[in-house]
Amino acid sequence: MARRYRDEWPVYISVGERNRKAQRAAAKLGDASPVIIQGFTIAKTFWGKSWCQNLERYSDYANRLPRGRTYVRSGCVVDLKIAPGTVHGLVSGSRVYTVTVNVAAIPKVRWKSVCQDCAGAIDSLVELLEGRFSKVTMERLCREKTGMFPFPAEMKFNCTCPDSARMCKHVAAVLYGIGARFDEKPELLFTLRNVDRQDLITKAGAHMTKTKVTKVLEAGGLSEIFGIDIAEPKRKRRKS
């Protein structure tokens, strides 16, 4: 059954027409960053999949997410840009609509806990600096409720379409588009939650140094800590 918006019956737009309209809109923008899905799967990497799975945990979104998946798969997300605490998107429907998603900064206590927990799981600062995380670290960063992904209450949506629902299909398409974008640039998760990845590096470095010092002290290797040779004390000879 068609849904009525503000005393007007929406005109059905086929997937092909929406796609053509999206392409025309992207071409007009010039600097557009469209979400392009190859095949049926929206997200293929750990980061993208985890974001999409997190969306689907929340019953608040259940009735609108399927339409959003259809829209993003058919190339209707004309433009999507992620900034600290904000996502701006353009989605092609019966016309091109502007979508804004505001995401609250991750609470300091939660971020501190994430950094603390990850510090013990990071084995190499080089890998961390290059943006490579162990499976244990990635799972901690994406953990439900205590990780980096936002709760529904931490997100606010706005769309210029006439749908009065808290989340329309255009917003849902943008939310899935974020997951697809994380496939390409997982570091954007830190940008979106307005936290500094350097905090992980600092905490991991401090933890690794502390662990090394403790092990060396237990082994009695003070020379390794200070980088100098410490001679063993000479034993006095007993007079015969």
Residue 67 lies in a domain: yes
pLDDT above 90 covers what percent of the chain?
A: 38
What CA–CA distance (Å, rounded) separates 131 from 120?
17
Please report which confidence band the pLDDT of residue 14 belongs to, taking 50, 70 and 90 as the band edges. Answer: low
For 29-79, the pLDDT digits (tens) are 667 899 999 888 999 999 999 999 999 888 777 788 998 999 999 899 999
Residue 82 lies in a domain: yes
Burial environment of residue 93 by CB neighbours within 10 A (0 to 12, 13 to 18, 19 or more): buried
Q: What's the number of domains the chain is made of? A: 1
Residue 75 lies in a domain: yes
Residue 2 lies in a domain: no
Residue 5 lies in a domain: no
Residue 92 lies in a domain: yes
Which range marks the domain in which residue 142 is found? 15-226
Q: What's the gap between Cα 89 and its chain centre?
A: 16
What CA–CA distance (Å, rounded) separates 106 from 75?
30
What CA–CA distance (Å, rounded) separates 161 from 6?
11
For 170-208, the pLDDT digits (tens) are 999 999 999 999 999 988 999 999 998 777 777 665 545
Please report which confidence band the pLDDT of residue 123 belongs to, taking 50, 70 and 90 as the band edges. Answer: low
Tokens describing residue 113: 């806990």
Please report which confidence band the pLDDT of residue 217 belongs to, taking 50, 70 and 90 as the band edges. Answer: very low
What CA–CA distance (Å, rounded) separates 139 from 188?
17
What CA–CA distance (Å, rounded) separates 184 from 43?
10
Position 42 scores a pLDDT of 95
Burial environment of residue 9 by CB neighbours within 10 A (0 to 12, 13 to 18, 19 or more): exposed
Q: What element of type H or E holds 91? A: strand 86-92
Position 212 scores a pLDDT of 42
Query: In whole angstroms, how far apart are CA 228 and each of 8, 223, 225?
Result: 82, 5, 8
First to last CA, the chain: 110
Position 144 scores a pLDDT of 86
The full length of the chain comes to 240
pTM for the model? 0.74
Cβ atoms within 10 Å of 144's Cβ, excluding its own: 12
Please report which confidence band the pLDDT of residue 83 belongs to, taking 50, 70 and 90 as the band edges. Answer: very high
Residue 232 lies in a domain: no
Contact predicate 206/199, CB 8 Å? no
Contact predicate 83/188, CB 8 Å? no
Residue 186 lies in a domain: yes
- Backbone φ and ψ for 101, nearest 5 degrees, come out as -120, 115
